[in-house]
Amino acid sequence: MPSATLSQSNNSTCSTCKKEFKNSKGLARHQQNVRKYNKRHQEIDELPVNTVVEFKQILVAEIHKKLPLNFRSMGKKLFSIPCPESIFFSIFAG
């Protein structure tokens, strides 16, 4: 007689980006990479709020230009825009 096994849902979710992982090891690896690449340097200047808000508006406008009207059927897209490290950390709170 075959035994029934219950599958445990061990999904782990990143609190920063809400990405789900199959196990805690995958989540730990993801969090290690996030910490590794998002270290804020002490010498980065704090920017005025209006500069950050203006760059956010530019960023949103550029993303809208790149996406077609039916962007959901297109799959994943890569988008990059050059910006100083201080603006990046101000916007994404790295």
Summarised one tens digit per residue, pLDDT across range 35-51 is 887 776 677 778 888 98
Instruction: Say which amino acid occupies 57.
Output: Q
The distance in angstroms from the start CA to the end CA of the chain is 54
Q: How confident is the model at residue 25 (pLDDT cuts 50, 70, 90)?
A: very high
Reading the block at residue 53, the tokens are 């808000």
Give the pLDDT score at 57. 93
Q: What is the pLDDT of residues 57-79, one digit of tens each?
A: 998 898 888 777 766 666 677 77
Q: How confident is the model at residue 9 (pLDDT cuts 50, 70, 90)?
A: very low
Long-range contacts (CB closer than 8 Å, 24 or more residues apart) made by 25-30: none
- 8 A C-beta contact, residue 10 and residue 22: yes
Give the pLDDT score at 54. 93
